[in-house]
Amino acid sequence: MVNQFERETKMPKIDRVVYSDDSKEVFRRLCIPVKVNSQGMFYAHVPAFLKDAIKGSGLRLYNTKKREARETDYDVYAETFAELEQGFARATRAFLTPERKVEHVIRFNIELHVSFSVDPNGETGRNAIGEKLSWVPDEAFGGHYAQKPAKGGYSVCVGARAKTKTTLKYGKHKIVKYTDYYAGGSHLGNENPAQKLNSWCSFSLPGDAREIPYSDEAALFFDRMMRGVVDLARLFHSHFGTNEDVQRSIEAGIDNLLPSGNMETSD
């Protein structure tokens, strides 16, 4: 009959799943063969991702040159199998406990969809016809050209929201999450700058939206920008909402809602 100790000397395995306390999205499965040396010490080879975490686990870490081709060349030793198993569990749990960084930001998107040229003085032109005008191919303006027209016409798109950004870093892995930030309030009010900005609704930000650190001044700046776009839309609608409105605006000479620069107007 084989006793318990003799069974353990035949390479028992640590096999368990240890989840991070902060996220169920990242986990590791340990399946580590364990051996016993001639002195009766239990030992196992250290997975590369656990090498640093093992140092704080209470296990003894030894350098070995037996596996130079592997990612890591360290073994750990313990007097009992239970001690070795518990040490690996502590190391894995420490490895999977993320570095957490929480900060408030303003995520925003500004898209410009226009196509134009400029003259030697930097004044806006239409089509770059003639020697004095040259195209502005900058992608910042949407990168539009004959094969990539601005759909629906020229436009300026603005969107911004106050967010709480939480960054969880698991070793080389990083997870970033955003939630709306109301500076202690809720989405039902607009008493503070964060609430005011987030009161603008019914739009979404793209995944590659830019961001800056949150401040009340920045929130109010973007709040005014959002209001400006809405007020401009209302102004356009009041003058150009229907064909009749357009005709009346033409007859009344209402064509200067936006600055037109010094470009000549005769064709």
CB atoms within 10 A of CB 161: 25
Give the amino acid at 13.
K
Residues 92/50, Cβ–Cβ less than 8 Å: yes
Give the per-residue pLDDT at 211. 98
Give the whole-angstrom CA distance, residue 145 versus residue 137: 8
User: CA Rg, the chain, in Å?
Assistant: 32
Give the per-residue pLDDT at 63. 67
pLDDT tens for residues 185-214? 888 888 999 999 999 999 999 999 999 999
Give the per-residue pLDDT at 137. 74
> CA neighbours within 13 Å on the CB side: how many for 124?
9
Give the per-residue pLDDT at 72. 54
Give the whole-angstrom CA distance, residue 249 versus residue 243: 10
Q: How far is CA 220 from CA 13, 181, 247, in A?
A: 59, 14, 37
Annotated domain spans of the chain: 4-96, 102-113+151-252, 115-149
Position of tokens 């390479």? 11
- Bridge-based pairing of strands 60-63 and 124-125 is unpaired
Give the per-residue pLDDT at 130. 73
Name residues of the chain where pLDDT drops below 50.
1-9, 19-21, 262-267
Give the whole-angstrom CA distance, residue 71 versus residue 69: 7
Give the per-residue pLDDT at 3. 40
Give the per-residue pLDDT at 253. 83
Q: At what angle do helices 243-252 and 216-240 cross, to 10 degrees?
A: 90
